Structure 1
Amino acid sequence: MDYTEAWTVYSNSTVTGPEEEPEELCNLDPNPVEAITQTYIHGIICAFGLIGNLLVIVTYIFYKRTKTMTDVYLYNVAVADLIFVVALPFIIYNEAHSWLMGSAVCKMLRSVYSINLYSGMLLLACISGDRYFAIVQARRFFGTRSRTLIYSRLICSAVWVFAVALTLPTLIYTECVEEQNLWAGTVTVMCQLSFRTSQKAKLMKVLVPSLQMAIGFLLPLLVMVFCYSSIVYTLLRAHSTQRHKAVRVILAVVVVFIVCQLPYNVVLLDHTLSLFKERSCDAEKLKLKVLAICRSIAYLHCCLNPILYAFIGVKFRSHFQQIMVDLWCFSKKYIYSSRASRATTEVCISGFKTSDASNNMSSFTA
């Protein structure tokens, strides 16, 4: 999310008198090559995120009869990521073209990323907490986790409400703003944060990214580090042949989270701290370029979540294989003749029932 104007006045020299030339305008628009490259990257993220999160949702709804707390959290993470990847093409369009869809859609578009950030990151923290209680505190909570499934739904509801509440500043202050491109001689409509007074602009341009960094990154990171370090310690003490694989999976989860989110948050923090300082045009161009790259890396997390939290699990992979079999069977129904179609339908129904029969597994994340 960008917090700067497309056109800003920067000082490259000291003004010594009234006869000096006025400060030159700095064009912060990305060059065409960078814009096209970023569009392709976002398109790939959108495609893989759409497929992966849809598979998680389909598995949860149609192929998972017994649902655990982690399953509920995973389902909500997939929903949050799916909402974001569906909105991503509109975000790409807004960055490259004049906004034509009105103020209401503009507000919804700018709010989607914020809601996804807060809800997704907090739900990942909930998953780490659930695994902490299941492994580290297993004896204390033995026999009670299956009866607390309702609490996971309440926690998810609370996370969504909290995410929407934190997104209210973005929702309120996002507007369609006309910007004049002095180099091209055109006027474009941009969907971005806009403020009536400079005091409010200073407050919100610091408050919004600060909340994102504190609640959308630091809080989940601290929870994940505590929970997963305790889990790793417990697993290393246990005499289990699967402990090394479990430790590798946990390390992968933490490393991917840090690699995807840390660079963007560090750059965003530096960018926020320098918002109200005088910057040279070249330095600002470089900073915005790095911010755009780190933001794209952060977007990657929405298509990596299904792999890290679901596809790694043996039980989920078995459901995924059954989905592929069922899709193949049902596709043959529309290709072959009516006689072959009837035979194919019987196979598909049999396969689907087999999938249902295996739904007694406790979690597709294991």
Structure 2
Amino acid sequence: MDMYDDDYWYFMEILNLTSKNENQTNITNPGYVVDGLVPLCPKMDVVHFGAKYLPPFFYINFIISILGNGLVLYIIYKYEKLSTVTNIFLLNLVISDLLFACSLPFKAVYHASEWIFGRTMCKLVSSLFSVGFYSSILFLTLMTFDRYLAVVHAVTAAKQRRKAYAISSSVVVWVVSLTCSVKELILHDTRPDPKYDELCEDLGYDQNSLTKWKLFGYYQQFIMFFMIPLAIILYCYIRITVRVLSTRMREKCRAVKLIFVIVLTFFICWTPYNIVILLQALEASYSTDCPSDALDYAHFITRNLAFLYCCISPVFYTFVGKKFQNHFMKLLARHIPCLKSFVLVTDTRSQTSKTTSCKNPYMLTDKTSVRMLQSVS
């Protein structure tokens, strides 16, 4: 009975709004009269699905991101310097993922009940969510391109890869991300709803304008934040793999395997979500019927997979590298005494390997070209 009561009050609100509009004008433009049924799209099952499964996933993502990215930040502060290009990019990636993660608890509360944080926070959280999401994928792409320069074009990159290059590149990424997130700041607003209480959605414009903005967002996500980054990442890692296989480095097999894992993980986490985005865009472009429930469910599931990748990407990109593994072991050894001997042995082997490679003149060229691969091998 409650469901029918909700539908009744929802219908009465629409009827009251229609009556107010008719009282404001005595002339009806026949061009706006449509002969036919206007479909109402019941999405209660989809809403209940989101309210049940999304909040726990958002909270888990938030905790994982805070712990993992916080650990990366501490290791950078404790053992590394921000004078290197890689660490500057990594720091920006961590910041972007933390911005994204900090919006997740607000999203979790919203999906579980309603928007309770006010109009200003609605716009702010939606914007931070998009800025963090967009900048994360752009910084991952930038780090891949920088790794390609350092490995494939080692001699040229050694002269150009300076601190100013890293800072200017990071500024460009932030500007692009902020620009692409302006629509969330403009369109997102709050309004009361008889069925779902307080909403924080794309509001304030007519349905035709909102549909156009939605299509723009779909294609922007698919082309600019998936197809272009994917093409760059595939090209860069293919060239890196070819370069590594042509060297005399003993660990090249391990490096190639890790490159394969990085590309495969990116593809698995991002491809399903962006395929759903493309299907939703095509459906909105060519169909006037209610959006498919199957696509709504698929959007929830695949989006969470992409969100998880954003939250763990700094940890994934750092702790597959030997250098950060050693830093992490040193950090653990400070609190677990039995690990101190293992850390000393690891440091000794690392120093011996460096000395040997410097004494071998035939390894100098290989060592220069694969220096950046130490972050993934």
Fold shared by both chains (TM-score > 0.5)? yes
Calculate the aligned-residue CA RMSD, in Å: 3.0
Aligned length: 314
Distance 1:176 1:66 in 2: 41
From 153, 163, 177, the counterpart of 2:191: 177
2:125 paired with 1:125: no
Change (3 A) 1:31 1:239: same
The aligned counterpart of 2:120 is 104
Instruction: After TM superposition, give the deviation of residue 252 of structure 1 in Å.
Output: 1.2
Q: Contact between 1:28 and 1:285, CA under 8 Å: does it hold in 2? A: no
Give the whole-Å Cα distance in 2 for the aligned partners of 1:23 and 1:130: 51
**Cα distance in 1 between the residues matched to 2:38 and 2:81:** 69
Give structure 1 regions of 4+ aligned residues with deviation exceeding 6 angstroms: 361-364
Q: Highest Rg: 1 or 2?
A: 2
Are residues 1:323 and 2:323 paired? no
Partner deviation per Cα, 1:215-237 (whole Å, 9 max, x = no partner): 21112111111111100011111
Contact 1:173/1:195, CA 8 A, preserved across alignment: yes
Which amino acid counterpart does residue 319 of structure 2 have in structure 1?
Answer: F
Of 90, 95, 101, 1:85 maps to 101
Letter in 1 for 2:69: N
Counterpart for residue 365 of structure 1: 375
Q: How far 1:243 sits from its partner (Å)?
A: 0.7
TM-score, scaled relative to structure 1: 0.77
Are the equivalent residues in 1 in contact too, given 2:115–2:198 (CA < 8 A)?
yes
CA distance in 1, matches of 2:216, 2:74: 38
- Verify the 8 A CA contact 1:115 1:163 in the aligned structure 2: yes
Write the distance in 2 (CA, Å) between the matches of 1:126 and 1:47.
Answer: 26
Contact kept? 1:310, 1:316, Cα under 8 Å: yes
Normalising by structure 2, report the TM-score.
Answer: 0.75
Amino acid at match of 1:152: A
Alignment partner of 2:288 out of 273, 278, 289: 278
How do 1:324-339 residues align onto structure 2 when only pairs under 5 Å count?
A: 324-326=332-334
Equivalent in the alignment of 1:159: 173
Paired position in structure 2 for 1:305: 313
Q: Distance in 2 between matches of 1:62 and 1:91?
A: 33
Please say if residues 189 and 200 of structure 2, whose CA atoms lie closer than 8 Å, have aligned partners that are also in contact: yes
Instruction: Report what 2:250 is aligned to.
Output: 241
Structure 1 pair 317/179, CA: closer, same or farther in 2 (3 Å)? same
1:250 aligns with 2:266: no
| Deviation of the 1:125 alpha carbon | 1.2
Deviations 1:137-172 (A, max 9, x none): 113334x256x1221011111211111011111111
Counterpart of 1:193? 202
Q: In the alignment, is the contact (CA less than 8 A) between 1:56 and 1:306 conserved in 2?
A: yes
Instruction: Give the unaligned 5+ runs of structure 1.
Output: 1-6, 10-19, 182-186, 330-353
1:220-235 equivalence runs, <5 A: 220-235=229-244
The aligned runs of 1:253-268 (5 Å cut-off) are 253-268=262-277
2:42 match: secondary structure:
strand
Q: Which amino acid aligns with 1:63?
A: Y
Q: State the Cα deviation string for residues 46-90 of structure 1 (Å, max 9, x = none).
A: 211111111111222232136421211111111111111121111
Task: Report whether the alignment pairs 1:216 with 2:216.
Answer: no
CA spacing shift, 1:40–1:311, aligned 2, 3 Å = same
The structure in which a higher percent of residues are helix is: 2
Q: Partners of 2:179 and 2:38 in 1: how far apart?
A: 43
CA distance in structure 2 between the aligned counterparts of 1:231 and 1:136, rounded to whole angstroms: 6
The alpha-carbon distance between structure 1 residues 210 and 28, as it changes in their structure 2 partners (threshold 3 A), is farther
Going from structure 1 to structure 2, the CA distance change for 1:219 and 1:21 (only over 3 Å counts) comes to closer
Question: Residue 98 of structure 2 contacts residue 132 of structure 2 at CA under 8 Å; is this kept in 1?
Answer: no
